[in-house]
Amino acid sequence: MKIDTKSKKVNKAWLNQHVNDPYVRLAQKEGFRSRAAYKLKEIDEEFQLIRPGQVVVDLGASPGAWSQYLRRRFAPKEAGVGGAAAGQLNGRIIALDLLEFEPIEGVEFIQGDFREDEVLAQLEASLGGAPVDLVVSDMAPNLSGIAATDAARIAHLIELALDFSARHLKPEGALVAKVFHGAGYDELVKAFKDQFRKVKTAKPKASRDKSSENFLVGIGLKR
């Protein structure tokens, strides 16, 4: 049997990088499901987006690190260091993902594809008409390696998140969405600027340098 030695070397290099990543180690130490928690943490600290008492929708939530961070921000002060202890949350978190999601106390989870109308309807029903303070989206499509196809898939997810935000955010609400530099990026920035009064970009330190991922932050609807 022929063994792809190049592939093995790449996998080994990635594994070594992952194991030695300071954010991976910190996530393990602090009980987060992935290093992604620190991306949202940095964005939150820069823009002061998350406050107790809010209604937040977490799109593309699996494995749950962003929901974990949100939960800790909403936990009662007596919960102690990290705010991870059990207790009534001062806020509401609705998480959605196509993948399975290990339950997090106090987080409502809907499993399904955000691109499907019936799943979107389920999310809207769960909100029950309540206005949303913040939408966070770590959604990313399965990439094909074909630039035009991947750009279209990314744009479609962002358009859905923008449309949902336009219909459900409070006037002063905000959307945080993961995007990728490349074809179609400028159009996505323009779409944000068409919808929000204030638009910022963020590249958290927790995002790997080699990654083309970036985050767009839109604050305050134009209406």
Percentage above 90 pLDDT, the chain: 73
Most confident of the ranges 20-24, 80-84, 105-109, 180-184:
105-109
Q: Which CATH number goes with the domain that contains 203?
A: 3.40.50.150
User: Is 106 within any annotated ligand binding site?
Assistant: no
User: Is 194 within any annotated ligand binding site?
Assistant: no
What are 160-185's pLDDT values in tens digits?
A: 999 999 999 999 999 999 998 888 89
Is the pLDDT higher at 131 or at 6? 131
What are 65-76's pLDDT values in tens digits?
A: 999 999 999 997
109 and 6 share one domain:
no
91 and 17 share one domain:
no
155 and 167 share one domain:
yes
User: Is 97 within any annotated ligand binding site?
Assistant: yes
User: Is 138 within any annotated ligand binding site?
Assistant: yes
pTM: 0.87
131 and 54 share one domain:
yes
User: Is 4 within any annotated ligand binding site?
Assistant: no
What are 43-54's pLDDT values in tens digits?
A: 999 999 999 999
Domain containing residue 177: 33-221
- From the candidates 12, 39, 170, 178, which is the catalytic residue? 178
98 and 20 share one domain:
no
180 and 105 share one domain:
yes
What are 7-17's pLDDT values in tens digits?
A: 454 465 434 55
18 and 56 share one domain:
no
Total domains present in the chain: 2
175 and 129 share one domain:
yes
Catalytic, 203? Answer no
140 and 176 share one domain:
yes
139 and 67 share one domain:
yes
Can you tell me the distance from the alpha carbon of 82 to that of 85, in angstroms, rounded to the nearest whole number? 8
12 and 38 share one domain:
no
5 and 114 share one domain:
no
pLDDT exceeds 50 at position 79: no
Predicted local distance difference test score (pLDDT) of residue 167? 96
